Amino acid sequence: MTDVKQTQRQDDARPGTTVERERGHDANRDAITGSPGSHPIGTGVGAVGAGAAGAAIGAFAGPVGAAVGAVIGAVAGGLAGKGAAEAVNPTDENAYWEENYKTRTYVDTDTPYDEYQPAYQYGWEGRSRNPNRSFDEAETDLRRDWESNPSNSKLKWEEAKLAARDAWDRVERKMPGDADRDGK
């Protein structure tokens, strides 16, 4: 009987189930393999950027050099992008902001966290999508995308911007160096 209960408990621990949530973390599982630690956006952004750079560098050696440079750059960039994305744990970020949002001067303390949450998430995800840009450099694009998606929040961009920037800066502080060159 113990084997059945243990098997059932393991089955209940699959991605997104109550047991996994009770354990206090989200394993960020790969959609295909189910393995933990999937960071497709970070990996993709890194692979595309470094692949293009590798192709440009390799182009000096001709078409074969460009192809080899693109492959090497994409692999290296993908790994670097995955590493940067791993610095951002969405579950941890959400828990942090839910606990701390009322301490921020821009927050209306009568407004529930659920209304600010999309702005915080937009900030931590936006930083991951814009690894070499400062918030100020990316703001025009961030604003356009926020305003074009009315399901984001009840907050207008001018209200959401401060929360998004706060989350952006928090994520950046976790990353080595100052990739966006803003001194934070």
Question: Rounded to an integer, what distance in angstroms lies between the CA atom of residue 74 and that of residue 52?
Answer: 8
Query: Tokens 């059932």 sit at which residue?
Result: 8
Q: What is the mean pLDDT of residues 57-74?
A: 63
pLDDT surpasses 70 at 92: yes
* Cβ contacts of 155 within 8 Å, gap of 6 or more: 115, 116, 118, 119, 163
With CA atoms as reference, report the closest residue to 157 among 112, 178, 126: 126
Q: Compare 167 and 2 and report the one with higher pLDDT.
A: 167
pLDDT surpasses 50 at 17: no
E-strand ranges in 12-110 read none
Percentage of the chain exceeding pLDDT 70: 47
* Sign of the Cα pseudo-torsion (39, 45, 48, 49, in order): negative
Q: Cβ distance 129 to 71 under 8 Å?
A: no
Q: Has this prediction a pTM greater than 0.75?
A: no
Residue 42: per-residue pLDDT: 56
- Kindly indicate the confidence band of residue 81, based on its pLDDT and cuts at 50, 70 and 90: low
* Cβ contacts of 133 within 8 Å, gap of 6 or more: 180
Residue 103: per-residue pLDDT: 96
| Alpha helices by DSSP H, the chain | 2-12, 18-22, 40-58, 63-86, 90-100, 113-129, 135-147, 157-174
pLDDT in tens, 138-166: 999 999 999 998 776 789 999 999 999 99
Percentage of the chain exceeding pLDDT 90: 36
pLDDT surpasses 80 at 99: yes
Most confident residue range from 11-20, 39-48, 134-143: 134-143
Calculate the average pLDDT of the chain.
72
pLDDT surpasses 60 at 82: no
Q: Cβ distance 94 to 124 under 8 Å?
A: no
